[in-house]
Amino acid sequence: MAAAAAAVVVVGWVLGFGGFGVWGFPEEDLVTRLPGQPAVGFRQFAGYVDVDVAAGRSLFYYFAEAAEGAAAKPLTLWLNGGPGCSSVGGGAFTELGPFYPRGDGRGLRLNKKSWNKANDMYKFLLGWYKKFPEYRSRALLLSGESYAGHYIPQLTDVLLTHNEKSNGFKFNIKGVAIGNPLLKLDRDVPATYEYFWSHGMISDEIFLAISHSCDFEDYTFNNPHNESKSCNDAIAKANSIVGNYVNNYDVILDVCYPSIVMQELRLRKYVTKMSVGVDVCMTYERYFYFNLPEVQQALHANRTHLPYGWSMCSDVLNYSNTDGNINILPLLQRIVEHKIPVWIFSGDQDSVVPLLGSRTLVRELAHTMGLPVTVPYSSWLRRGQAGGWVTEYGNILTFATVRGASHMVPFAQPDRALGLFQSFALGRRLPNTTHPPIN
């Protein structure tokens, strides 16, 4: 299969990768070299796009050109979740961007599986296209994970409304892909406890207590979740049994001990990878790297000289207390009705927004829309191994799992995530022995 890469844009808490070489680029945003960065053959840009000057509101972005064949590549926008978590620190430098932080937290190493081999966001995209006008006609792929299950469909809805009203520029939206997305609370929340139970993490008795005591139809995103005391007590007991020694975002991943890591960072030693093959302590390496003054200067970041350090997730911004309660399925339906392919993918080791809920919701959406099964549920392959399982409805709505992956799919399974992204970006089905890719 032909290699698929993309230019990637990440904004404040957003990320982007772009296709072809930038000829009208904003020189003030060019990142000549990041501290401790290996030599690369593509350009990077970072800076701010003002979305509300009067209110002093701007969004930060990081943009990396595609590494090869950039002239023919689409533009991919990536959003991490939270709400309020950084797509730069998350997606760009932990999952799918061109670099990972080094073990000593003072430099970068190449990511060999990089993907470049809502109203404010709408204004951001319009402003970003002013900085990079040659991308206006390029295919736009909208992607993200977790709470981006809200961000991405809501943003796509705004862009579609723009296209319907505009007599001039229209966004060239070619696909939507969201990993382990929060879509509908009354299904996603109970799926967590089904997952705990099915993986032997809680007992039959605790699972039955939750099933009998909790009415998830009325569940709300914020505490106390509009649930009864008996329900909240059962949930608290389940969470206590699962304990602090399991990473709920990746139940097979070892946990990192911050005190040890910080000592190693101060001594500039490398943090050893655990037996699972990924750096479980990258969170602390990333925090150390992005708080280096020379890194912030190279990225043209922190232009207002904030008195506090960078962190992966922020409580500074005020988020809607009700947005998390919204059922996103009607927005996904609108996107599919506009003939835009939608892919929902799930790392099968995530208990926070597990595949059990997402799979059911995609099937319910297909049933509501009358979409027939066009790919029966079956395994998809990557390098001769099962990459996960996949099903497709109406040649346009896809649900796929990624075997052995976490809530952050590209972090835990970078090669399988890259294979999935390649198929998505090329408009092809995931390869398997029964249903060959569509050329």
Q: Which domain holds residue 245?
A: 200-286
Does 88 share its domain with 132? yes
Residues 257, 378: one domain? no
| pTM of the predicted protein model | 0.75
Q: Is the pLDDT of residue 272 over 60?
A: no
> In which element (H, E) is residue 367 found?
helix 355-369
Instruction: Assign 224 a pLDDT band (cuts: 50, 70, 90).
Output: low
Would 316 be classed as within a structural domain?
no
Domain contains 78: yes
Residues 180 and 207 in one domain: no
Domain assignment of residue 336, yes or no: yes
C-alpha distance from residue 291 to each of 103, 254, 312 (Å): 15, 25, 11
Q: Does 134 share its domain with 17?
A: yes
Average pLDDT, the chain: 78
One domain, residues 128 and 206: no
Q: Is 147 a member of any domain?
A: yes
Query: Residues 240, 99: one domain?
Result: no
Domain boundary, last residue among 231, 258, 286 = 286
- Separation CA 369–CA 354 (nearest Å): 23
**8 vs 418, which has greater pLDDT?**
418
* Same-domain pairing of 108 and 170: yes
Q: Does 376 fall in a domain?
A: yes
In a domain, 204, yes or no: yes
Distance of CA 393 to CAs 197, 396, 425, Å?
29, 6, 18
- Do 179 and 33 share a structural domain? yes
Give pLDDT, residue 317: 57
- Model confidence band, residue 281 (pLDDT cutoffs 50, 70, 90): low
Q: What's the burial of 27, exposed, middle or buried (CB within 10 Å: 0-12/13-18/19+)?
A: exposed
The pLDDT of residue 91 is above 70: no
**Digit-coded pLDDT (tens) for 241-258:** 988 778 888 888 776 644
Residue 66 maps to a domain: yes
Taking residues 220-243, report their average pLDDT. 82
How many domains does one find in the chain?
A: 2
Kindly report which listed range (11-25, 136-150, 319-333) carries the lowest average pLDDT score.
11-25
Among residues 286, 314, 334, the one where a domain terminates is 286
Cβ-contact 344, 358 below 8 angstroms: yes
Catalytic (active-site) positions: 146, 350, 407
Q: Based on the fold, state whether residues 56 and 131 are members of the same structural domain.
A: yes
pLDDT at 175: 95
pLDDT band of residue 226 (cuts 50, 70, 90) is: low
CATH number at residue 408: 3.40.50.1820
Q: What pLDDT was estimated at residue 117? A: 54
The answer on 241 and 179 residing in a single domain is no
- 417-436 pLDDT, tens digit each: 989 988 998 899 999 865 55
For 35-44, 197-206, 412-421, which range has the lowest pLDDT when averaged over its residues?
A: 35-44
Looking at residue 370, its pLDDT comes to: 98
Which sign, positive or negative, has the C-alpha torsion 217, 199, 276, 419?
negative
User: Do 78 and 219 share a domain, yes or no?
Assistant: no
| pLDDT at res. 78 | 73
Q: What is the pLDDT of residues 340-389, one digit of tens each?
A: 999 999 999 999 899 999 999 999 999 999 999 999 999 999 998 999 99
Domain boundary at 262, 286, 310, which? 286
Domain membership of residue 47 (yes or no) is: yes
If asked whether residues 45 and 15 sit together in one domain, one would say yes
Judged by average pLDDT, the poorest of 74-83, 99-108, 309-318 is 309-318
Per-residue confidence band for 22, with pLDDT thresholds at 50, 70 and 90: very low
Which pLDDT does position 400 carry in this prediction?
98
User: Does pLDDT of 210 surpass 60?
Assistant: yes
Q: How confident is the model at residue 97, as a pLDDT?
A: 65
Count the neighbouring beta carbons within 10 Å of the beta carbon of residue 90. Answer: 30
